[in-house]
Structure formats: C-alpha cells, structure tokens
Amino acid sequence: MENQAATVVVDNPYGLGALWAQGDIVARGTLIIMVIMSLATWYILVMKLIDQRKLIASAKLAEQKFWTAGSLREAVDKMPKGDTYRSIAEDGLRAQQHLEGRSASDRVGLHDWVIMSLQRSLDAVNFNLAGGMAVLATIGSTAPFVGLFGTVWGIYHALVAIGVSGQASIDKVAGPVGEALIMTAIGLAVAVPAVMAYNWLGRRNKAIQGDLSNFTSDLHDSLVTGARIAVPQAAAVAAAKK
C-alpha cells in the first residue's frame, strides 16, 4: 500500500492580509497612504509621458513644416490648432504686429517686446512640463520613511503584545516583527519607481526644453530681423526619445 503524502496548505498568519486585518487605524492609515503614493506615481508617469510625446511630435512637425514655409504667417497656418509650437509663434506674431508701422528707431523696442512675449509663452510651457515632478520627488524621498514609521509602529505593538503575554519564544517574536517589516518593504517599493520616474522624466524634460528654447530663439530672430531661419533642431528631439 502506497503512502500518499497529503499537501496541507497553511495560511500565512503574518502576511499582508493579516497585517490589514489585525492592524489598528495607524497601521491601516499608513498602508492607505502608501497605496495613494504609488497610484499617484504611476498616474503622473503616464500623464507626463503622454504630454512629452505630444511635444516631441510637435517638434518634428515644426521641423518639417514650420521652417519650410514662405512666411511666418504661412508657417503658423501649417501647424495644427492647439499645437504648442503654433501657440508660441502666434504670440510672437502678435507682439510683432503690436509695434508694426513704427519708425526704425523702435527696433530695440520691437526686440524687447517680442522677446518678453516669447519668454512668457516659453515659461508657460516649461511650467506645464514641470507639473507633477515635485510630487514624484516628494514621494521618492518620503515613502521609505512612511514605511519605516509603519514598521516602528508594528514592532512597538508586537513588543507590547509579547510583554503582556509573557512569552518571548522565537515564534512569538519573529512573526509580528516580520509582519511589521512588510511596511518597510512597501515603502521601498513605492519610492523606487517614483525616483526612477523623476530622473527619467526630468532628463526628457530638459531635452524638450532645449528644443523649445532653440525654436523660440530662431523665431525671435525671424520676427525682429525679417530673415528666414531654417535650423531644424533634430538633436534635442532624438535625445528625448532615448
């Protein structure tokens, strides 16, 4: 007669489920905070990537259509409505038209007026690019400490329970302490993606901002001098793809 070994499945009494079921309001609140942090990280990462892809596509379109047009007005009309590069160019044209018809002595005034208008448009785009980055930096720097707080709180309660029961055997100590350490692991799991996303998105932002700055500079020269400048800025766009 063959002996058949029966497989016994034993539920882990010190897992994440037990931590939630047995934890108090502080432990559960800490877990909820870290879940919110993680969701915020992934939401910002996805939304920033969508925004960056739009700007990279706009840069490609400007390289292909904007600088190949016969005039700046025609170049603006070639760009789709709502496009970031079109908006910057329209702001520049409005600034130029504001001083249109004035004497040649106002050339310096035209230079200052156009550059201020373009700088305001560029600052608005850069502000949108920076949106959410502070949240990622905050999550990346604070999530490990939030997890550590949960661990300290869990160990405190574990030691209190051991002291009340009067038993300090390994099974009474190792289980609750290991359960508390789950909080630290969760904190690190939340922080690492946030830090990586912050660094990656920040590098892409710098490449996009460099391309926008170059476009704005070329546009300023065209508006002030009237010369057609066709300088495709492919290097920054290629760098942003990496």
Quick: pLDDT tens for 176-185.
Answer: 666 778 888 8
| Token pair recorded at residue 234 | 């492919």
Residue 232 lies in a domain: yes
Question: What is the distance between the alpha carbons of residues 189 and 42, in angstroms, rounded to a whole number?
Answer: 12
Q: For residue 84, which of 118, 49, 132, 112 has the smallest C-alpha distance?
A: 118
- Quote the pLDDT of residue 136: 94
3-class DSSP state of 106: helix
Residue 16 lies in a domain: no
Q: Are 111 and 118 within 8 A, CB to CB?
A: no
Residue 118 lies in a domain: no
Its pTM stands at: 0.74
Q: How confident is the model at residue 3 (pLDDT cuts 50, 70, 90)?
A: very low
| Token pair recorded at residue 33 | 């905070």
- Quote the pLDDT of residue 25: 84
Q: How confident is the model at residue 17 (pLDDT cuts 50, 70, 90)?
A: low
What residues make up the domain containing 146?
A: 24-99+124-241
Least confident stretch, 20-24, 73-77, 94-98: 20-24
Residue 10 lies in a domain: no
Question: What is the distance between the alpha carbons of residues 186 and 190, in angstroms, rounded to a whole number?
Answer: 6
- Quote the pLDDT of residue 191: 95
Residue 88 lies in a domain: yes
Mean pLDDT, residues 61-67: 80
**Using CB atoms within 10 A of its CB, is residue 50 exposed (0-12), middle (13-18) or buried (19+)?**
exposed
Residue 6 lies in a domain: no
Quick: pLDDT tens for 112-169.
Answer: 777 888 888 888 888 888 889 999 999 999 999 999 988 888 888 777 777 776 666 6
